Structure 1
Amino acid sequence: MTASTIMSTDIVTLKPDDTISDALQLMCKHAVHNLPVLDDDGTFLGLFSLRRLSRELLPKAAKLDESSLLMHINFMPDDTDELLQRLSKLGQKPVSDLLEKTSKLRLCKPDTTLPELLQLLFESPISLPVVVLKDNKKKLSGMVSNWDVLTKLTVNLLGDKAVSPCADTKKEAQT
């Protein structure tokens, strides 16, 4: 089994100048957590994620020490209006301003083997999918998530006995 037989290929994508509001609408519509960003030539530029957006919604003081990020938010008021204002401001910015750092992304080629994919998924410091690129030109082929691997293995193991959603979905690679 290789990335090309496991990956999701029906992927919703963004352009770098799409707004964060546009991205959120697509994420809600397609129930995904991550969207790849491609330039006009289809070159992969990065990944826009809800995780990165959530981080930006925190007050600056809460982001000073990344190693203990969640330990220092008890000072933050439970004010939905303030969060909505912050989101409204962010929503006007292009997604290119909030791409996941390349160092956090795991990239592979279509011929990457299942054990190599598992290692890439395991090594990811955060639960992001592995991005499959066609060649050295960084053209997006697809994405592989833990869910894609589970689905493929379950269907191979159980065949017709595999229960939904494992048996009838592969859309989750973007989650």
Structure 2
Amino acid sequence: MLVEQIMKTEVITCKPHETIESALKLLHEHHIRHIPIVDDHQHVIGIVSDRDVRDASPSIFHPDPSNELKNELQTIMTSPVLTIHPLDFVEEIASIFYEQEIACLPVTKANKLVGIVTEKDMLYTLIQLTGVHVQSSQIELKVINKPGILPEVTSVLGRRKVNINSVLIYPYEADQRYKILVFRLQTMNPTPTIEDLQAEGYEVLWPNMPGIET
């Protein structure tokens, strides 16, 4: 999946000379947490978060709070800004969110702002990729880590003509000779499929259903 498929293209922006007060209003009006700061050519030169604005806002005990809010955004913005491209893979930018501990990434093309991706967008995308947003049953298998194992297993699943909503593969930490396959099937009764898998010698880790050996 590409970034252009999940990014928001209607991006609220500010110029560096605009005030903290103006950013504060935009954050509240549009219920957003980040505002990219751009120049006259739509180049991203900084970014301001709701936390930046909150930290820069004066205390209620300040003699003249309005003066603090008149400061320019360029005095509090984070710069330079890490950006991504519309044709980057979502799976790859997920690692950027994790490793850099950031909550928002502007999307640029030819050095111009074209969109934005937030951690909430990433979480929603993960929900879609795993298929948990639709009614389904989850089956987890421990299989030998060898080429061709996935089509072997899916051929067994195909006997029941059940749609596969998603497939996840991850290592079996206890023994690297194996891996775990996680299927989400479009059925509320996975028992016949589980029985087929076990009949072929596959070890079903989940569900551990009463009356079915696993």
TM-score between both structures, scaled by the size of structure 2? 0.56
State the match for 1:53 in structure 2: 53
- Relative to structure 1, is the Cα distance of residues 148 and 158 closer, same or farther in structure 2, using a 3 angstrom cutoff? same
> Given the alignment, which residue of 126, 133, 142 partners 2:115?
142
Give the SS at the match of 1:142: strand
* 4+ aligned runs moved over 3 Å, structure 1: 54-58, 158-161
Matched, 1:100 2:75: no
- The structure in which a higher percent of residues are helix is 1
Contact 1:20–1:95 (CA under 8 A) maintained in structure 2:
yes
Looking at structure 2, the residues matched to 38 and 93 of structure 1 have their Cα atoms a distance apart, in angstroms, of 17
Matches of residues 83-98 of structure 1 in structure 2 within 5 Å? 85-86=64-65, 88-98=66-76
Give how far 1:147 is off: 0.8
State the match for 2:42 in structure 1: 42
Identity of counterpart residues, as a percentage? 24
Give how far 1:101 is off: 3.1
Contact 1:48–1:98 (CA under 8 A) maintained in structure 2:
yes
Higher RCO (Cα < 8 Å, 6 or more apart): 1
Q: Which amino acid in 2 is paired with 1:123? A: E
Looking at structure 1, the residues matched to 106 and 96 of structure 2 have their Cα atoms a distance apart, in angstroms, of 10
Structure 1 gap ranges (5+): 59-78, 162-175
Matches of residues 119-158 of structure 1 in structure 2 within 5 Å? 119-125=95-101, 127-135=102-110, 138-156=111-129, 157-158=131-132
TM-score between both structures, scaled by the size of structure 1? 0.67
Please provide the CA RMSD for this pair.
Answer: 2.2
CA deviations over 1:87-109 (Å, ceiling 9, x no partner): x222111212211132xx43111
Give how far 1:114 is off: 1.6
Give the SS at the match of 2:41: coil
State the match for 2:156 in structure 1: none
State the match for 1:11 in structure 2: 11
Structure 2 gap ranges (5+): 136-214
State the match for 1:110 in structure 2: 86
Give how far 1:27 is off: 0.7
